[in-house]
Amino acid sequence: MTKQIFLDQLDAHSLRERLANEKLTLIIPVGSLEQHGPHLPLGTDAILSTKIAEGVARELGALVAPAFAYGYKSQQKSGGGNHLIGTSSLSAATVIAQTKDLVTSYLKQGFEHIIFLNGHYENYQFLYEGIDLAMESLSREQLGDRFGLLLSYWDYVGEETLAQVYPQGFPGWDIEHGGVLETALMLHLSPNSVDMSRAPVGPAAVLPKFDRLPVVAARTPRSGCLSAPDGASAEKGKLLYDDVVSAISSDLAFELHEAVAL
Amino acid sequence: MTKQIFLDQLDAHSLRERLANEKLTLIIPVGSLEQHGPHLPLGTDAILSTKIAEGVARELGALVAPAFAYGYKSQQKSGGGNHLIGTSSLSAATVIAQTKDLVTSYLKQGFEHIIFLNGHYENYQFLYEGIDLAMESLSREQLGDRFGLLLSYWDYVGEETLAQVYPQGFPGWDIEHGGVLETALMLHLSPNSVDMSRAPVGPAAVLPKFDRLPVVAARTPRSGCLSAPDGASAEKGKLLYDDVVSAISSDLAFELHEAVAL
Amino acid sequence: MTKQIFLDQLDAHSLRERLANEKLTLIIPVGSLEQHGPHLPLGTDAILSTKIAEGVARELGALVAPAFAYGYKSQQKSGGGNHLIGTSSLSAATVIAQTKDLVTSYLKQGFEHIIFLNGHYENYQFLYEGIDLAMESLSREQLGDRFGLLLSYWDYVGEETLAQVYPQGFPGWDIEHGGVLETALMLHLSPNSVDMSRAPVGPAAVLPKFDRLPVVAARTPRSGCLSAPDGASAEKGKLLYDDVVSAISSDLAFELHEAVAL
Amino acid sequence: MTKQIFLDQLDAHSLRERLANEKLTLIIPVGSLEQHGPHLPLGTDAILSTKIAEGVARELGALVAPAFAYGYKSQQKSGGGNHLIGTSSLSAATVIAQTKDLVTSYLKQGFEHIIFLNGHYENYQFLYEGIDLAMESLSREQLGDRFGLLLSYWDYVGEETLAQVYPQGFPGWDIEHGGVLETALMLHLSPNSVDMSRAPVGPAAVLPKFDRLPVVAARTPRSGCLSAPDGASAEKGKLLYDDVVSAISSDLAFELHEAVAL
Amino acid sequence: MTKQIFLDQLDAHSLRERLANEKLTLIIPVGSLEQHGPHLPLGTDAILSTKIAEGVARELGALVAPAFAYGYKSQQKSGGGNHLIGTSSLSAATVIAQTKDLVTSYLKQGFEHIIFLNGHYENYQFLYEGIDLAMESLSREQLGDRFGLLLSYWDYVGEETLAQVYPQGFPGWDIEHGGVLETALMLHLSPNSVDMSRAPVGPAAVLPKFDRLPVVAARTPRSGCLSAPDGASAEKGKLLYDDVVSAISSDLAFELHEAVAL
Amino acid sequence: MTKQIFLDQLDAHSLRERLANEKLTLIIPVGSLEQHGPHLPLGTDAILSTKIAEGVARELGALVAPAFAYGYKSQQKSGGGNHLIGTSSLSAATVIAQTKDLVTSYLKQGFEHIIFLNGHYENYQFLYEGIDLAMESLSREQLGDRFGLLLSYWDYVGEETLAQVYPQGFPGWDIEHGGVLETALMLHLSPNSVDMSRAPVGPAAVLPKFDRLPVVAARTPRSGCLSAPDGASAEKGKLLYDDVVSAISSDLAFELHEAVAL
């Protein structure tokens, strides 16, 4: 029988048994509720980060905590902008507080490593601050060798995979919102939530080097996607998923188990 | 074809169409990640509030937002206490901030009513404050007739149902943590997450009239449940579920549609 | 000569002497400045909690700190609503911060037990959070056996007393705002502040199971009282007062002195 | 019959009547719970500011709100220091939040002027910030001609009075903590709380021009008073009280009634 | 005579005259106080952003506000880490609050555009949040066409310049801390603060794809630089400076003056 | 060769060497960006506090940190008021947070004493709170003998100097904003930033004993100065500067080096 991977499906007594017998790693998927164009659901970021976390947890023998279903404000250059209907966001202070509270709460219960697996670009720095504040609030004795870790899954897509997914050349992560990567992953991992008949077409958004607030709404394509998901397929999604899960897993396996030696 | 009920499964363009054509009501289920004894999963409160929200949304033509998977600290007299392993909590400031951010965000997008359906007793006052702060931050013109609404689902269990569920007399809500009500509902709504073979037995907890901090751990039964789920069954769960969904739905239907007349 | 019971009337040198020689318990009465109908003064909650604290302190040899004269927002279902003129409230963050600051401050000075005696329903959860944050900010060594404790006085009214005070049956605490209990207690404890000739009459308020914000003002009776103080008398007030003081005192006496054994 | 001056003794219906018919001024006395040597009670600052507020309110036809019984941290150069047992303080954020909440709450109810009458030096800047934040949170239309006002009562002691109270020359306000001024006022206004047989003697404290944290405890005299109350008497207290009440009253009368012309 | 460019050197009356007659743009340089290896001063980021702001302001007729001399925590992957002596940082909440306060303050005075010119990677998201909160706090009428804008100067280094500065290929921005770019710019703009005889040598840091907290100190090179400034020269600094100033200026000139048309 | 005095001009490796070999004192000058009339620049307070800090640091072998260029809101009675164009302010929470962050950050790096040298009256209490919060966040072991210190430079002007600078009698510090003291110091320390041909004339402002919010703008002289700088000269500036630097230096030298004995 396989062990339960999702923390919210586990009962407290079983968890206590595991914590007493293992150095347990917990992965917290972080998403958003954000417009992702006409063909992808609002929950795309949480769906993807949860699925990837699940894959990694299986490799590492880790648990997966309930995802953060809401994230920091969508920024125009990475997510189209926070003014778009369908996007429901938290302020920085809230993301930071939530992160700090949970890192502290999980560490106190005895988890050894808390890993935030981010699926919404804009969250990163606020998750970082939350983890850092949690660490500062613990004494060295309380903390021991335990640590927090933060990553965004797209940083683990390999060169080779990129070449296969984007045969005409990788256009850069900055316009990857509702584009090939997310669409392909969703086609592989949550096909019923995707409607390719509604997928937008047309050129990628051209956005300035700066952020301007309030945003000039006209700079975001009407679809809300920063690039079209041309050529996205479930096969490419599988390729991306397997690559990312494997890369994160091996990176973390090293970090978690060789940590003492550093 | 049935309309999509879960907001995170909806795409932004479809949402915009609905918001443009209807006065949309949004239900936010609120749970916790909290120990619920050896037989129920940590996610019980979110699972139950989400399922109930789904039932109500179906009646009302409303949407269901992603649940709050984490809640305010477990208190000894209602949840066994926050010191118990398996319980992962947010502080008051975080729950308030999260609530305020989302009420504001959803109202700005055009939702007409935001309903918090609470499944974790301890959350109530902090959700209330978050809604109130959001309302204060909007001008009367911005707000118009729109409103927020907050309820705890157990307040809708009818007398008759109570009598059927607790044939030997209802012992009171205060010791209902991991007891008959939650167990029966879970047996009906999420049977695979329940392991009745591990259900605790023995008398209900006897707790003081006050809250003491730090808690005296010995006051919470070793199981973590404040009463045993004796006699809980899927049938009773269905009875409870149908009763609660129907009572909330008719209460809200009146409130949402006759609101103007008040 | 009787010892001084009110902390603000004590001088610092006498306090130091007591702290050096006794395990001192401090009771902080918590009230509000809230409309209580046409016959009771705005300060009713602070007046009552202070008087009850005084009675308890006399039994326990404890001190009474200056009351919190302002409380959390009045909620419609327990106090008529925060929109009513005469009601002056603090936000949740303020109540929490004030509570945390004072618990920390008093514990650092050497008090052994800090007891919040609440007289305004809405305060409870915010006082709880404040006490909890204070406890978290102290190390186990700093804290030792010392603790904080929180109670609402009406939880100590006995069955028998209830039967005498409400000969036609107790209608429930939820509509007890400006009603029989508070009016009777005020007639006993602060008769000059009550004007029974202005007492409202008529049926109790019928309020929904949910909280709606902004409130529907028409749901609160014009008097501001959720039920009429029919039959309230100084005699019933004395009965209530003596019952509550005695019940709290004996409950606390046990808790404070047997605490070590738990 | 005299009108009720203390807001907490007034009922909501009477308050509404007054607010509907007058431009009402509200005075909030601000104190502290702070050691004041062996001869004065911990509540000295709140007692004095309340009594002075009462005198001024009588002159102006104003109301007096419940005092702030707790204040900002005692600073060594003005109050001996926050490390002294008997001193129970709020942090800056708490004082600011409390002030902001109440100014907003009172203005929304319809008070025309909110006057903070300060009796604890250290509070001043935090009260100022709280009032300012409240003003910023209101639009110009909401505010109209209404305003907040902040003063410390000792700034109203006249030259002539000073000469009479300190026949050997006024030593400066900085060492007036538990000294002649406060002791004399207390002897006049609350004689039963003063025990002159315990009054400290000896030279005034000599304190540096800077603040050092943590404080060097030895710099505060053992009594906790920064100067001895030599020559303090109820007569001098009456002189001071009458002078201050009259000076504040006439200053405010002009400000409140000629405000429009400015 | 040239107009004064630095706001802190301008007097208030001259500023008012300019604000009354022009649509004034204000540039706020944002730096940090952070270790930059043995050869660059701690103030490098503020020095560079101020100099670049000065160049841009000259082109645009803008003013330069006092720089933020302190920034968000140094992160290992971009600045070596916050644990290093010489690095003095602000928390996220502080950077956000400071930014919000100043954007609000400057907009209220009548500035038309507030531009944050960032010189410390880690600041970006917190500045963004601060600007956004300021915008949210203003009504549409108060804001009109005015806006805030945020950029990091290195995003404006052109391809051609990169090729000249890094003849052996550009190694990526992530290891550019105390490396060729910053060193060259400092040699051009503040040569007396650089000591090339102390410049570190050796290979660039190899850092993981994730952030781990607490950091593994050994991952940061002993110098504190993430890459060596091999080949940095004042000439390259001038090239970089001229390129960046010109690119930002022309980008902003378009944005500021064509803004209405968008 | 003279040692580098300004921290932002020092490199991290040199700083580490000094911290390893000396008990280092750090002085943080605190200013504001505030209107100072038509003849003085907006940055006056930061310019003066930095120059004085530099002089003191030279005497003590201390370092000078980057100044706080922005301060708390200008108050009418000390700076003319925060409504005046040219004044850009931080709220109390921001000044407190910034101060706390930096005291903590500097102490963790190994500085022995952190001295805030204030040049803007309104900052004082908020700096105090920030230092105090930093101290509270450290354990006694972490803190050891180290401390923070806070002073305003004008408290160090001696009687004799006052008599020379104000031959017709010193009018009091309260109206010294843009007046003789600041103008004279600026003429000595930063003559190019002063334009005496624009200096205001006329009588000093007459301001009430209270603070009123919103301010009555007409109470501040049109110049923005609370008194005219009649007779201010570079010579008087030198006299003031030398006096203040010498007085602070000797006061601090005693405090820093005899601290252990206290």
Please confirm, yes or no, whether E39 is among the known catalytic residues. no
Q: How far apart are CA A254 and CA A259, in angstroms?
A: 8
For residue E18, what pLDDT band results from cuts at 50, 70 and 90?
A: very high
pLDDT above 70: residue E33: yes
For residue C149, what pLDDT band results from cuts at 50, 70 and 90?
A: very high
Count up the domains in chain F and report the number.
1
Q: How far apart are CA A6 and CA C94, in angstroms?
A: 37
Residues from chain F contacting residue D212 (CB–CB below 8 Å): 147-150, 255
The pLDDT value given to residue B53 = 98
CB count, 10 Å around CB of A207? 16
| Contact in structure between E213 and E20 (CB atoms under 8 Å) | no
The two three-digit tokens of residue B174, written as one number: 């205060």
The model's pLDDT over E68-104, given as tens digits with 9 standing for 90+, comes to 999 999 999 999 999 999 999 999 999 999 999 999 9
Select the more confidently predicted residue: C112 or A257: C112
Give the DSSP letter of residue F186.
H
- Give, in order, the Cα–Cα distances in Å from B97 to each of B100, C133, E130: 5, 17, 17
Q: Would residue E76 count as lying in a domain?
A: yes
Q: How far apart are CA F18 and CA D150, in angstroms?
A: 48
Q: How far apart are CA B6 and CA A105, in angstroms?
A: 29
Q: With CB atoms and an 8 Å threshold, state whether C129 touches B92.
A: yes
Q: Is A156 on the interface with E (CB under 8 A)?
A: yes
Chains that touch B (3 or more CB pairs under 8 A): A, C
Chains that touch C (3 or more CB pairs under 8 A): B, D
The pLDDT value given to residue E257 = 85
Supply the range of the domain harboring residue C146: 7-261
- Give, in order, the Cα–Cα distances in Å from A173 to each of A38, A121, A155, B124: 20, 10, 9, 41
| Contact in structure between A41 and B8 (CB atoms under 8 Å) | yes
Residues from chain F contacting residue E196 (CB–CB below 8 Å): none
The pLDDT value given to residue F262 = 47
The model's pLDDT over A53-90, given as tens digits with 9 standing for 90+, comes to 999 999 999 999 999 999 999 999 999 999 999 999 99
Percent share of chain A, pLDDT over 90: 92
CB count, 10 Å around CB of E63? 25
Q: How far apart are CA C8 and CA D43, in angstroms?
A: 4
Rounded to two decimals, the ipTM of the complex is 0.97
Instruction: Name residue F72's beta-bridge partners.
Output: F90
Segments in C36-123 forming alpha helices (H): 44-60, 76-79, 92-109
Backbone angles phi, psi at E42, to 5 degrees: -60, -30
Q: Is C255 on the interface with B (CB under 8 A)?
A: yes
Q: Which of D19, D38, D67 sits opposite C11 (nearest CB)?
A: D38
For residue D259, what pLDDT band results from cuts at 50, 70 and 90?
A: low
Residue type, A75: Q
How buried is E192 (Cβ within 10 angstroms: 0-12 exposed, 13-18 middle, 19+ buried)? Answer: exposed
Q: Would residue B1 count as lying in a domain?
A: no
Q: Would residue E1 count as lying in a domain?
A: no
DSSP chain E: -PPP-BGGGSBHHHHHHHHHHS--EEEEEE--B--BTTTBBTTHHHHHHHHHHHHHHHHHT-EEPPPB-SEEPPPHHHHS-TTSTT-BEE-HHHHHHHHHHHHHHHHHHT-SEEEEEE-SGGGHHHHHHHHHHHHHHS-HHHHTT-EEEEEEGGGG--HHHHHHH-TT----GGG-SSSHHHHHHHHHH-GGG--GGG---SPPP---SSEEES--GGGS-TTS-SS--TT--HHHHHHHHHHHHHHHHHHHHHHHHSGGG-
Q: Are chains D and C in touch, 3+ Cβ pairs below 8 Å?
A: yes
Q: With CB atoms and an 8 Å threshold, state whether F94 touches E90.
A: no
Residues from chain A contacting residue E213 (CB–CB below 8 Å): 128, 131-132, 135, 147-150
Residues from chain C contacting residue D200 (CB–CB below 8 Å): none
Backbone angles phi, psi at F169, to 5 degrees: 105, 135
Q: Would residue A2 count as lying in a domain?
A: no
Q: Which residues contact C167 (CB under 8 A, 6 or more apart)?
A: C231
Q: How far apart are CA A51 and CA A61, in angstroms?
A: 15
Q: Is C148 on the interface with B (CB under 8 A)?
A: yes
pLDDT above 50: residue F146: yes
**In 3-state terms, what secondary structure has residue C36?**
strand
Q: With CB atoms and an 8 Å threshold, state whether E33 touches F7.
A: yes
Q: Would residue C105 count as lying in a domain?
A: yes
**In 3-state terms, what secondary structure has residue A232?**
coil
Q: Would residue C1 count as lying in a domain?
A: no
> 198-237 in E: which are within 8 Å (CB) of F?
198, 224
Interface test with A, best of B6, B85, B197, B226 (most A CBs within 10 A): B85
Residues from chain C contacting residue B91 (CB–CB below 8 Å): 129, 133
Mean pLDDT of the D36-54 span: 98
The pLDDT value given to residue E259 = 55
Q: With CB atoms and an 8 Å threshold, state whether C93 touches B93.
A: yes
The pLDDT value given to residue F139 = 86
pLDDT above 90: residue F141: no
- Give, in order, the Cα–Cα distances in Å from C191 to each of B21, C188, E164: 59, 6, 90
The model's pLDDT over F197-215, given as tens digits with 9 standing for 90+, comes to 999 999 999 999 999 999 9
Q: Would residue F1 count as lying in a domain?
A: no
Q: Which of D210, D219, D262 sits opposite F150 (nearest CB)?
A: D210
Peptide bond into F214 cis (omega under 30): yes
CATH code of residue E159? 3.40.50.10310
Q: With CB atoms and an 8 Å threshold, state whether B109 touches A85.
A: yes
Q: Are chains F and E in touch, 3+ Cβ pairs below 8 Å?
A: yes
Out of A36, A39, A113, A188, which one is annotated catalytic? A36
Pairing relationship of beta strands E71-72 and E63-64 according to DSSP bridges: unpaired
Q: Would residue A188 count as lying in a domain?
A: yes
The pLDDT value given to residue C98 = 98
Mean pLDDT of the F244-256 span: 97
Q: How far apart are CA D48 and CA D52, in angstroms?
A: 6
